[in-house]
């Protein structure tokens, strides 16, 4: 069993978190500035290279009514492309309110506004991944699409 990468995909950035090898703890890694799906995927693959990642978790920003709008479709597009490129399974999880929760955690930790803005996406990715590690359904992993 290897590490899991967790992603908080936004329109401008992608927050990245990664688990430890035992899949017990999620940690923030970086924030990737969006440059288009293919370039984003290549940067994410480079981040994963040599770290023993064998699964992907992507947060889906569902609407309050449970529907999927543009943001959720974008997250699926990035997740599907990364899974296909890396040959790894991807699991999509509900990530409603993770950015709000991440902001609260950063405020509680005393992070200044500028620092919060720099790391909010990483913190949200960490919360998405940690929730999955704690409660995830591994059978929900979707195998990569055939090229």
**What are the φ and ψ backbone dihedral angles of 85, each rounded to 5 degrees?**
-70, -40
> Crossing angle, helix 113-135 and helix 98-108, to 10 degrees?
120
Q: Could you state, in chain order, the average pLDDT of each consecutive group of 10 residues for the chain (147 residues)? A: 92 94 93 95 96 94 72 92 96 74 62 63 88 70 51
Closest CA relative to residue 38, chosen from 6, 68, 80, 71? 80
Closest CA relative to residue 45, chosen from 89, 82, 84, 11? 82
Task: Please state, rounded to an integer, the average pLDDT across all residues of the chain.
Answer: 83
Topology (CATH) of 3-135: Nucleotidyltransferase; domain 5 (3.30.420)
pLDDT at 70: 81
Strand partners, 13: 33
**% of the chain with per-residue pLDDT over 90:** 53
- What letter does residue 24 receive in the DSSP assignment? S
């Amino acid at each position: 069993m290897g590490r899991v990468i967790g992603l908080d995909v936004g329109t401008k950035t992608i927050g990245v978190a990664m688990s430890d090898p035992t899949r017990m703890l999620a940690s923030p890694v970086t924030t990737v500035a969006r440059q288009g799906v293919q370039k984003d995927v290549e940067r994410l693959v480079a981040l994963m290279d040599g770290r023993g990642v064998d699964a992907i978790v992507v947060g889906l920003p569902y609407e309050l009514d449970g529907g999927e709008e543009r943001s959720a479709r974008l997250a699926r597009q990035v997740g599907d492309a990364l899974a296909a490129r890396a040959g790894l399974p991807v699991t999509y999880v509900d990530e409603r309110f993770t950015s709000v929760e991440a902001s609260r955690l950063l405020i509680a930790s005393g992070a200044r506004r500028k620092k919060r803005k720099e790391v909010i996406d990483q913190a949200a990715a960490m919360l998405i991944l940690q929730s999955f590690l704690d409660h995830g359904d591994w059978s929900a992993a979707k195998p990569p699409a055939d090229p």
